[in-house]
Amino acid sequence: MPFLPHTLEEEQAMLKDMGICTIEELFRDIPEQLRLKRKLNLPKGLSEKAAWDEVERLAHRNKDIGQYLCFRGAGAYEHYQPKAVKHILSRSEFYTAYTPYQPEVSQGTLQAIFEYQTCICELTGMDVANASHYDGATALAEAALMAIQISRRKKLVISSLVHPEYRETLHTYLSRRGIEIIMLPSENGLTAVAELEKVLTTEVAAVIVQNPNFLGSIENLAFFAQKIHEKGGLLIACVDPVSLGVLASPGECGADIAVGEGQSLGLPLSLGGPYLGFMACKEKYVRRMPGRIVGKTVDRLGREGFVLTLQAREQHIRRDKAGSNICSNQALCALAATIYLALLGPRGLREVGKQCMEKSHYASELLVQLPGISLAFTAPFFQEFVVKTQESAVSINQRLWEAGILGGLDLGRYYPELKNHLLFCVTEMRTKEEIERLVEVIGG
């Protein structure tokens, strides 16, 4: 049997040492009527080679992003991953370790998380960050819970242009907490600010806005911050970290909590997971922040080192009074993001953001020259934009897919009023030629 080291002789010696004859005797405490009297009905175990053949067979049944041109984002983005990221991640001292419960033998993980926290603070312009969440959607939901605890208020206002799956996750998380969630409609591809005034009261714990929003447009975060602060509530900004080389940071805009999806920082698309939820906030809220946090301290001999800290916030100590039940993080994904950022540096990240903007704008300018295609909104955008099509969105995407191109996301499924609207994404990965190919196929 693979991975099981015991020889028959060793097994006998071990049993003899305990004064028993069979392993079965060690299971005598399981009541007879509960014993599974048959074998598990699973396929017979395979050798490594046969197992590899089978996973390769399944992998080959998929069409990976190297086999088509991707013009789709919507919360999962194809960016260039420097080769060094994967190489460092494959160090098994990182990936076969547990949560750093014994800091003396976990300084690698702890220091990497401390560096990650610093990177997230720098990117978002916030004071403190935690060690990460499962993904952007759950980070957003936990930020909402945090705002509710800080403000002791029971209403949330959320833009309808926050990623639909994030909004659904928020609803699930809060479904049993008696929280009223008010949705802000949109106007011209942006969250409708006129509506904001109507719903903002001193009962609102937080306003939640995504930037760039789900339609790719850039919101005026500072305006939302000002309005909610007038009512004593918090602004939760959900941001794309890759955009933060060029776009104003949540901190610069006055946000109280910044969250987002870190997949775009060098993590593979991987059909939606594992990804990386990040969270950062103003210093005064740090003791309300959920999740693991790493801090710097000194050892017995005065040398600097790192530990998990502020643990009294967490479930293993506060139990039913804890603000969250989270007890892990996405340490390896956070490490990937940190390495990515260290390799690119501030200029590299700005260059990625700038190219995303240039290329998406180039694509949009070409597309709108086609008959039957128009830009749906006039708001400024980052790497995604919406076009309105005369031909049905389904038929355009069908034609594109047959030509080896993954077209824009059909928005009708998420916003009924946006039937025959496509959300295109153009990152730094696409070349001029590929963009022109997209336009050519759509143009027929």
Residue 230 makes contact with other proteins by CB under 8 A: no
With CB under 8 A as the contact rule, which of the stretches 183-191, 231-239, 317-325, 384-392 interacts with other proteins?
A: 317-325
Closer CB to other proteins, residue 10 or residue 198? 10
Task: For tokens 């990650």, name the residue.
Answer: 116
Name the token pair of 260.
Answer: 């987002």
Residue 368 makes contact with other proteins by CB under 8 A: no
Q: Tell me how many degrees the CA angle 133-145-179 measures, rounded to the nearest 5.
A: 140
Among 180, 187, 230, 299, binds other proteins (CB under 8 A): 299
Closer CB to other proteins, residue 207 or residue 306? 306
Closer CB to other proteins, residue 233 or residue 353? 353
Taking the C-alpha atoms of residue 362 and residue 370, their distance in angstroms, rounded to an integer, is: 13
Residue 28 makes contact with other proteins by CB under 8 A: yes
Among 248, 368, 370, 375, binds other proteins (CB under 8 A): 248
Residue 111 makes contact with other proteins by CB under 8 A: yes
Among 69, 136, 240, 376, binds other proteins (CB under 8 A): 136
Give the count of residues interacting with other proteins (CB under 8 A): 209
In the complex, least distance from residue 399 CB atom to other proteins, rounded to whole angstroms: 13
Burial class (CB in 10 A: 0-12, 13-18, 19+), 152: exposed
Among 316, 369, 371, 417, binds other proteins (CB under 8 A): 316
The SS3 assignment for 189 reads coil
Taking the C-alpha atoms of residue 75 and residue 213, their distance in angstroms, rounded to an integer, is: 10
The SS3 assignment for 307 reads strand
Cβ neighbours around 61 below 10 Å, total: 7
Taking the C-alpha atoms of residue 221 and residue 239, their distance in angstroms, rounded to an integer, is: 10
Residue 149 makes contact with other proteins by CB under 8 A: no
In the complex, least distance from residue 187 CB atom to other proteins, rounded to whole angstroms: 17
Taking the C-alpha atoms of residue 257 and residue 147, their distance in angstroms, rounded to an integer, is: 8
Residue 8 makes contact with other proteins by CB under 8 A: no
In the complex, least distance from residue 349 CB atom to other proteins, rounded to whole angstroms: 7
Q: Which of 267, 315, 328, 354 is nearest to 80 (CA)?
A: 267
Residue 26 makes contact with other proteins by CB under 8 A: yes
Name the token pair of 194.
Answer: 């006129």
177 secondary structure, DSSP code: T
Closer CB to other proteins, residue 84 or residue 185? 84
338-367 footprint of other proteins as x/- string (CB under 8 A)? xx-xxxxxxxxxxxx-xx-xxx-xx-----
Stretch 188-217 residues interacting with other proteins (CB under 8 A) = none
Taking the C-alpha atoms of residue 250 and residue 236, their distance in angstroms, rounded to an integer, is: 9
